[in-house]
Amino acid sequence: MARDSKYDILFEPIQIGPKTLRNRFYQVPHCNGAGSEKPGMQAYNRGMKAEGGWAAVCTEYCSIHPESDDTSRVSARIWDEGDVRNLAAMCDRLHHFGALAGIEMWYGGPHAPCMESRATPRGPSQIPSEFEINIHPRYMDEDDIAEVQQMYVDAALRARDAGFDIVYVYGAHSYLPLQFLSPFYNKRSDRYGGSFENRARFWKECLEKVREAVGDDCAIASRFAVDTLYGSAGIEVGEDGVRFVEYVDELVDLWDLTVGDIAEWGQNAGPSRFFEENHEKPFTGQIKAGDHTNKPVVGVGRVTNPDTMVAIINSGQFDIIGAARPSISDPFLPSKIEEGRFDDVRECIGCNQCISRWEIGGPPLVCTQNATAGEEYRRGWHPEKFHPAANSDKGVLVIGAGPAGMECAMVLGKRRMSAVHLVDANREIGGCVNWISLLGHSDGGENLARGSARGLGEWKRIVNYRQIQLDKLSNVQVHTNSGLSAQDVLDYGAEIVIVATGCHFATDGLNPATHAQIEGADTSLDWQLTPDEVVSESKRIGKRVLVLENEGYFMGVSVAQKLAGEGHEVHLLTQMGDIAGYMEYTLEAPMLHRDLHRLGVDIRPYTMLEKIEPGICHAYNIWDEAHKEQLEVDTVVLCTQRISNDELYRELKSDKAKLEAEGIEQVFLIGDASAPRMIVDSIFDGHRLGREIDSPNPAMPLPFIRERRLWGEVSNDDYRAQLLNTPDVAVA
């Protein structure tokens, strides 16, 4: 299918300095967990986007020197010749597919704790990081400034040698250049502090020196937070925001604009729960619209809708559509738009699971929508290509059309299994997503300082995408309103049976804190509820509600938001030190805390329930079980733990002779029915089984390539040589 001409603007080339972007799709720097240590993953994860049509693809933040070491988080690094070699693999793969390669040169100052290098980070003034625990920088005198600027130059030269086309001087997210620019970090009284020109000097000089070094060979980009969102204490778009762009515009070939800082970078990578598409426009949109730059501008906003993209360019907001998360969710977004295949786009749901792994530090990225993200190299998975299964003659019955079942059936369909039946007892496919996507909003929360409590509605895209794909697959049949007994399954006629029957919440208080039931907990009573019953509104909920949150992710707090927003008095108890700890990793926590605070929810950390009686809950402090409290409440909601719906699987498995007699060769258990987990992991589980349905033992995942040093394959001397070859470091 040819593209609609209204999208032509998205495919017009554009010049940035000495380089040309083939179209307007640009993968801005984002983390993926590969760094410079997993060169295969780095090359193939980024390369998939080049193959999918992006005009430029960047590294994540890339440290220019061991003094900027973010361990345990994973950044790229361009410290030495080994890094040049490893990142060159990425550049080569991008160039092979016609994309430009960008590198985001990064010096973190006090935000880089240097736990691997053990170096001392430097900063403009000696104030500890607001993002790390107790990391003070060393004050930079003018010698330090010159040294660090030389680090940018040396890194840029190495980057050019590795094959990069675009070299960033990265100052967004409160890293060093912005630390000099912002009065929040810069308290100096010398020529690098005080006036705007003084505060801008460090960044300007970096740009000059990098341009001098590589500006004929590479485009020079700068990523800049036009507003740090805390008023005059930092950068405000109407003040230093536009001023800085104008001041150094001649030194920059491309502006990559963001908002926010590092401590709340969810203002930039806005979760859908609190931010809508193109939410940064009020800030980043002012630069080009106000004629403050003569250079191309790229910006982001979780934009997946091609009409929004066209509007962004035509309205003069940006010249280039930047994307991080939408490019993870669908590396082929540009190709699909070009080919008019809009309904094949896997739209980002804004859950920020990808980000959570960077925040945790160490794990590779994951994506709820795209189970192949991060698996391109190590498992050889391609998001758009599926090999026909070796056992494609088999018929498959998938029971349960939740995240795991939908995904598995879709993959099996694409692998050309002769017949795939996806059967669900409910009226619609989607499983838990159908009710979870109704959560997360309060009464709107428009009064929140930043963001609004708009809820998890975009998570429904999980279902929408798969529904469309399943509809297109002629070898897949979907049957809803069809509960199956074990006998029904035996009679069905499929050779392969996949049980994906999901899970349910514990009804008796069984929980990870005490590993026991809670006395008096019983959600068969009309005043005790599981979280799904809150959504279904199947029970009357009293004025005073206690929500027990033992999971640490979104469920308990979402229930609390909903009920408090409806006017209930809510106590929110957790055995942990803080509620919803995982939402720190998804960047949702600050907005969540603001909303719960606004709603007046009574949050009690380190608190657990001992006993539930009508009207009274008996709680205790986990540090002293003798310290008890009684809470008078009308309704109790138990978000304690989940339990797999695996009875059907157990029954089928219990009689292997019967399975054999009915021609059932294999029975598998996936998703929450195997072990309750996050949606991202359920989808992965279903996808994995589909990809490996023809392996010798599909129940056991095949091994994946682990990129690591193999002792003896490369000698210690050769390892050391990778350092010695680095021009700017002298080794004794």
Q: Which residues are catalytic?
A: 175
CB of 533 to a second copy, least distance (A): 20
Please pick, from the candidates 3, 9, 40, 634, the single residue that binds a second copy as defined by CB under 8 A.
Answer: 40
206 to 235, contacts with a second copy by CB under 8 A? 233
523 to 562, contacts with a second copy by CB under 8 A? 551-553
- CA atoms of 269 and 266, how far apart (whole Å): 5
* Between 1 and 577, CB nearer to a second copy: 577
CB of 82 to a second copy, least distance (A): 5
* Between 85 and 539, CB nearer to a second copy: 85
| Residue appearing with tokens 């009573």 | 525
Joined together, the tokens standing for residue 11 give: 């495919």
- CA atoms of 555 and 100, how far apart (whole Å): 42
Using the rule CB under 8 A, is 136 a contact of a second copy?
yes
Using the rule CB under 8 A, is 36 a contact of a second copy?
yes
Please pick, from the candidates 8, 647, 705, 727, the single residue that binds a second copy as defined by CB under 8 A.
Answer: 705
Contact 167, 103 (CB under 8 A): yes
* Between 143 and 537, CB nearer to a second copy: 143
- CA atoms of 522 and 530, how far apart (whole Å): 10
411 to 470, contacts with a second copy by CB under 8 A? 449
Please pick, from the candidates 194, 290, 457, 581, the single residue that binds a second copy as defined by CB under 8 A.
Answer: 581
**Piece in contact with a second copy (CB under 8 A), picked from 115-123, 217-225, 308-316, 490-498:** 115-123
* Between 37 and 384, CB nearer to a second copy: 37
320 to 379, contacts with a second copy by CB under 8 A? 357, 360-364, 366
**Piece in contact with a second copy (CB under 8 A), picked from 133-141, 318-326, 412-420, 492-500:** 133-141
616 to 675, contacts with a second copy by CB under 8 A? 621, 623-624, 627, 641-644, 646, 650, 653, 669, 674-675
Task: To the nearest 10°, report the CA torsion of 33, 39, 44, 46.
Answer: 60
Contact 609, 578 (CB under 8 A): no
Beta bridge partners of 732: none
CB of 456 to a second copy, least distance (A): 16
| Residues in the chain, overall count | 732
Using the rule CB under 8 A, is 713 a contact of a second copy?
yes
Contact 63, 69 (CB under 8 A): yes
Beta strands 56-63; 76-77: pairing state: parallel
Task: To the nearest 10°, report the CA torsion of 292, 295, 301, 302.
Answer: 170
Instruction: Count the alpha carbons within 13 Å of 285 in the hemisphere toward its beta carbon.
Output: 13
Beta bridge partners of 229: none
Using the rule CB under 8 A, is 188 a contact of a second copy?
no
* Between 40 and 542, CB nearer to a second copy: 40
* Between 515 and 540, CB nearer to a second copy: 515
* Between 449 and 468, CB nearer to a second copy: 449
Using the rule CB under 8 A, is 504 a contact of a second copy?
no
Using the rule CB under 8 A, is 194 a contact of a second copy?
no
Identify residue 721 by its one-letter amino acid code.
Answer: A
* DSSP summary character for residue 321: E
Task: To the nearest 10°, report the CA torsion of 73, 75, 77, 82.
Answer: 80
Nearest residue to 358 via CA among 694, 591, 32: 32
Using the rule CB under 8 A, is 289 a contact of a second copy?
no
Using the rule CB under 8 A, is 726 a contact of a second copy?
yes
234 to 273, contacts with a second copy by CB under 8 A? none
Nearest residue to 509 via CA among 498, 522, 500: 522
CA distances from 459 to 169, 452, 531, 553, 719 (A): 35, 16, 17, 15, 46
43 to 82, contacts with a second copy by CB under 8 A? 43, 66, 71-73, 79-80, 82
